[in-house]
Structure 1
């Protein structure tokens, strides 16, 4: 009879060759069940998750934001601490989502990105919705769309144009994405037009008309018109969600070839640095923590805006989206510099589509369920800003090429929009 092995390694079976139970500890066997062969260990996964970026140093502001909130510190401290805390949390959400996507395949990755790619926007939106801050909900979502379409895409085009004179990408896929973005934009124009027609037919005095410009839930209309606005918004929200599902199938299934890089040699095989269960647990944990920080942030906006004379529209449309999309900003610019423009277009335009065709309709339906009358009626000025932004992006990407001058155009428009909302 041969000698029994004197050590136990990861490949030791549960039963040894002589039929006796293995000496492998029970905890090791459990870990083997939770982690597939060849994937990083749980310890290695969390080491990368927590210490893989210098940005994680800012996680110290997570407990600080809670202390500031419950101790009722000055509004500036509460807002600043929560604002900074969300930055590393957004990056960690992106890291966990990316690591899960590497193992789950294209279809599940698409669904995962649809659910968690804009998790911060959803969390901030729901937190503001539950507190009745409908204007913050609308401006933060609109700001995320504009930030991705103008600032992030503009910086990416500019950075890519500084490395190579001209970058190319799949024009057909980009046009399909921008067309869906145009459709989502039009669905916001229709409620605004309906509201404008209803208001002008029922209000005569300019003073009362100016007052209604601050009301976005339709309560300034008569009962019949208010009901009509809610029906339009909720019906359109359901239709947009169905269109978004169809777009996912178009992108991941029937026409997936349109979204592949034009030069396959630019495609790199990435090695996962986290196992799927560890990434999933991390994703859920960070989502919960982010929800608390978002709640603290929204609770401090009103007082901060009043005390320091910062327009609430500027906070929601400019500041919050920059924080929520910080990780996407860096990734998109980096991919553009490496001439991976399909990924850049997917991050910028794809994220805007997720917000316009998935997150906004989702929050309208959540508001419907929770009796918070969020509608698709945005103020006329905001609707016009979104429309001209989508129009400019359509013009610039329709040829399937980009350069630094196109990036400058997009960044300039974003600065003009920021200036306009600062004085609004």
Structure 2
């Protein structure tokens, strides 16, 4: 069965990619194009996740988790850039919100649940958990301030765009400083002490590819994600209209779930291998990267495209982000997790999903 799966995976990857390309360039119809593109994104994201996990094996646990989160967010970033190009700012913000919710609640929730079923209690660095929680609160503050000042008429729309650029710049600098702090100056302080990150765990498989091939496949997968993302975005307006869905729901859940497919699989597999530190690093680290780096970068991208997008999110989006940060921080702050805590995160995600659908 394992051998059959290894043979089928590349065949399915290539065939879904080709079918999606044919559907896009021959104009099959929006629904067919959307379905094929969504399936292709999932397979390509899976390929991206596998390549990243292979590279991460050679890089160590913390850097590996960072690489997984970064390349896992490649699909999200690329999709958002194409949405900005189409002028779909509301959907961009909804997809960013959905990505934060998806990582903090769904990815982390499933990881804790699956890992907890196999290992009764899993532990990771409590200091890192506290730092992650503080960073997410900073991100929430950064999103709240512009919204409050604009909605209270304290500043004009033009001034809001200026404030958005300033806030975005500060967040990017803060994120780069966090990478310097966590990866270099305080690397040992934040290292997961539950096991030696260079020590292979029981039953853990060696990477499928060597270092050079893993890096090459990582590059190829990123290019494939860029192409399929453009094809997917091309169909979103038609799908939204055809099914009567709101841009808020499509952006926050459909685009976010498809775009985060790589993190979903990688984090869950690592949690089941008792590498809960790496799984948490992917889930929470990915949310931090979206809030502190991807969203600010998109503000600058829109500015240089000549169609400035501000950093003001809707009340619904802000409340959803605050709720997800609060529950995720509450559950991870003690540095120990179990399957029931994972179930609680999934429950909150489902509640928000239904609410967004009905909004």
TM-score with structure 1 setting the length? 0.77
- 2:274 aligned residue: 339
Q: Retained in 2: the 8 A contact 1:110–1:252?
A: no
Distance across 2 between alignment mates of 1:157 and 1:124? 28
Q: Retained in 2: the 8 A contact 1:127–1:291?
A: no
| Structure 2 counterpart of 1:330, from 259, 265, 276 | 265
Does the C-alpha gap of structure 1 residues 276 and 265 become closer, same or farther in structure 2, counting only changes over 3 Å? closer
| Structure 2 counterpart of 1:315, from 250, 253, 256 | 250
Q: Deviations over 1:93-120 (max 9, x none)?
A: 2233333344457898687557534111
Given the alignment of the two structures, is residue 237 of structure 1 paired with residue 172 of structure 2, yes or no? no
Q: Deviations over 1:215-257 (max 9, x none)?
A: xxxxxxxxx6012111111111111111111111111112212
Distance across 2 between alignment mates of 1:103 and 1:168? 23
Mapping 1:284-299, distance limit 5 Å: 284-299=219-234
- 2:313 aligned residue: 378
Greater Rg by CA: 1
In structure 2, the residue corresponding to 1:246 is in which secondary structure? helix
RMSD over aligned CA atoms reads: 2.5
| Structure 1 counterpart of 2:209, from 261, 274, 283 | 274
Equivalent residue pairs, number: 352
Q: Retained in 2: the 8 A contact 1:120–1:290?
A: yes
Which blocks of at least 5 consecutive residues in structure 2 are unaligned?
A: none
Mapping 1:10-409, distance limit 5 Å: 51=6, 54=9, 57-103=12-58, 115-198=70-153, 225-264=156-195, 268-269=199-200, 271-409=206-344
Does the C-alpha gap of structure 1 residues 146 and 56 become closer, same or farther in structure 2, counting only changes over 3 Å? farther
Q: Retained in 1: the 8 A contact 2:69–2:282?
A: no
Distance across 1 between alignment mates of 2:73 and 2:298? 13
Q: Retained in 2: the 8 A contact 1:261–1:267?
A: no
Which structure has the higher relative contact order (CA within 8 Å, separation 6+)? 2
TM-score with structure 2 setting the length? 0.90
Q: Retained in 2: the 8 A contact 1:261–1:340?
A: no
Larger displacement relative to structure 2 (401-410 or 263-272): 263-272
Does the C-alpha gap of structure 1 residues 411 and 134 become closer, same or farther in structure 2, counting only changes over 3 Å? same
Larger displacement relative to structure 2 (91-100 or 132-141): 91-100
In structure 1, the residue corresponding to 2:189 is in which secondary structure? helix
Q: Retained in 1: the 8 A contact 2:61–2:278?
A: no
In structure 2, the residue corresponding to 1:298 is in which secondary structure? helix
Following superposition, the deviation at residue 85 of structure 1 comes to 0.6
Structure number with higher helix proportion: 2
Distance across 2 between alignment mates of 1:284 and 1:320? 22
